[in-house]
Structure 1
Amino acid sequence: MNKAADFVVSLLYPRRCPVCDDVLRRGEKLIHERCEKKIRPVGRTTCMKCGKPIKDKTGEFCDDCVKTTHCFDRGYSIFRYRSVSGSIYRFKYAGRREYADFYAEKAKKYLGSTIKAINPDAIIPIPMYAAKMRKRGYNQAAVLAKAIGKACNVPVYENVIIRTRNTVPMKLLDQQGRRSNLKKAFNIRRNDVKFKCIILIDDIYTTGSTIDAVAKEFRRMGVERIYFVTLAIGQVV
């Protein structure tokens, strides 16, 4: 019954390659073989705080993390942003939620052992403002979180924290503006859930302002260890 249903769904809504967006043939894996070569993972030489790729193998932290005190313990990302920017845009704005299965597969490949070592109590997606999510139809961070949670066998909690106000798009602001923009933007909704260690999930890491704002609320809740995993991250220039 389930196989028949999956077959009908695949005919009506064929899965697309997360790089070129062309339809994948039945039986083909989650990405075209030729397209997989175009995606660049973050790599091993990264900032020991935010996970941003760095060129200096002798340094432990990127320039941003040297100057900034973050509320999270450490962060990791799957891909370098420039190699997946088009894919992320379609994932967020064009309804390509099926890309999450491919992203989660790579998250398990590159970060599976790290996530296992962290041993989190929960994976928690960064929330969207309710009106904005209704307009878009879904929260891409939640879709990604569910896929990674399933792949890595970690429970996902969506409704622990909410976004209480609609903020200005972060891409329009500098670092200081981003932090001011996020003041009192999040609120813990469920105080009955107690976590010692969590992993926050978002699509892109830039300055860490959003992750910090959410992590700050969980620190107040008593969470001892806070990590994050994002789909993509920029590179130190």
Structure 2
Amino acid sequence: MQEKEAGGRKTKKILDLLYPPVCPFCGKILNGAEKSGERGICFSCSGKLPYVEEPCCMKCGKPLREEEREYCADCARHELTFDQGRSLYLHTALVQRAIYQFKFHNKRYYAEILAREMASRYGKWIRRWGIEEIVPVPLHPSRKRTRGFNQAELLAKALGELSGIPVEPKAVRRIRKTKYQKQLDDAGRRQNLKGAFSVVPGWKPKRCILVVDDIYTTGNTIHRTAEALKKAGVQKVYFLTISIGQGL
């Protein structure tokens, strides 16, 4: 056992020399103290991460400017199928950089860093919700082949390891290739994802599911994923994402 652990430490040192770990938010190579910590985030960025704070929407967690309001404009205006959700950060430039590198520059190890942040901040929420299974928002197969991986799936698996909750990456599939949501207005986003998701035949629905994704904007992606899950028999659908847009 000791020889195996020593070998693992040696391998890690070699990998750190060849591919030094960097902060996902600024790209800086981590120093010794930062590398030895659990977070994998540089000291400078650790002090300025834009965590979502109160007041926020009771349903989606989007930050609100007025404390007396209960819901953001999107949740007040639309009937969204999910029950509740929360996000780690506001979608600022600092966070956008990390997500962009994670998704489009093959920084797969960011999933472990971001999942640790999720578990630290929302572990109590996950237990309170009574989550029985974690399900990532799926990519269309053609898009997954192009990218090589699904960032939501990596994040879900890392969160599952930390929380001890089973992860089922194949519970929901995207059956229709859609346009990128960021290219559309609100009405277009809602129409774009209609009928885009379905539950895989043979999957056994659980009572409470946690859906994981990278970004929450107007909630349409989570809404349609939850819609497919509830049609299959799931009673409660919650979500966690890395970032979320500003509320009103």
TM-score by length of structure 1 reads: 0.95
* The one of 90, 100, 116 aligned to 2:127: 116
**CA deviation after TM superposition for structure 1 residue 26, in Å:** 4.6
Deviations 1:45-80 (A, max 9, x none): 210011101111111111211111000000110111
The two structures, once aligned, show a CA RMSD in angstroms of: 1.4
Give 1:38-187 correspondences, 5 Å limit.
38-82=48-92, 83-187=94-198
Amino acid at match of 1:19: F
* The one of 207, 229, 244 aligned to 1:218: 229
Partner of 1:10: 16
* The one of 235, 240, 243 aligned to 1:229: 240
Name the stretch that deviates more: 171-180 or 22-31: 22-31
1:205 counterpart = 2:216: yes
Amino acid at match of 1:116: R
Name the stretch that deviates more: 40-49 or 184-193: 184-193
CA distance in 1, matches of 2:62, 2:228: 23
Partner of 1:22: 28
Tell me if the contact between 1:17 and 1:31 (Cα under 8 Å) persists in the aligned partners. Answer: yes
Tell me if the contact between 1:47 and 1:61 (Cα under 8 Å) persists in the aligned partners. Answer: yes
Tell me if the contact between 1:191 and 1:221 (Cα under 8 Å) persists in the aligned partners. Answer: no
Identity %: 37
Deviations 1:116-144 (A, max 9, x none): 11121111100001111111111111111
CA distance in 2, matches of 1:142, 1:150: 12
Name the stretch that deviates more: 191-200 or 64-73: 191-200
Name the stretch that deviates more: 130-139 or 149-158: 149-158
CA distance in 2, matches of 1:46, 1:4: 46
Tell me if the contact between 2:172 and 2:199 (Cα under 8 Å) persists in the aligned partners. Answer: yes
Amino acid at match of 1:113: K
CA distance in 2, matches of 1:177, 1:84: 25
Tell me if the contact between 1:199 and 1:229 (Cα under 8 Å) persists in the aligned partners. Answer: yes
Amino acid at match of 2:74: D
1:191 counterpart = 2:191: no
Amino acid at match of 1:2: G
**CA deviation after TM superposition for structure 1 residue 15, in Å:** 1.7
**CA deviation after TM superposition for structure 1 residue 6, in Å:** 2.7
CA distance in 1, matches of 2:74, 2:174: 26
Tell me if the contact between 2:171 and 2:203 (Cα under 8 Å) persists in the aligned partners. Answer: no
Unaligned runs of 5+ in 1: none
CA distance in 1, matches of 2:130, 2:46: 29
CA distance in 2, matches of 1:232, 1:137: 22
Amino acid at match of 2:25: V
CA distance in 2, matches of 1:81, 1:72: 21
Alignment coverage as a number of residue pairs: 237
CA, structure 1 residues 192+90, in 2 after alignment: closer, same or farther (shift >3 Å)?
closer
Deviations 1:100-130 (A, max 9, x none): 2221222122111111111211111000011
**CA deviation after TM superposition for structure 1 residue 222, in Å:** 0.6
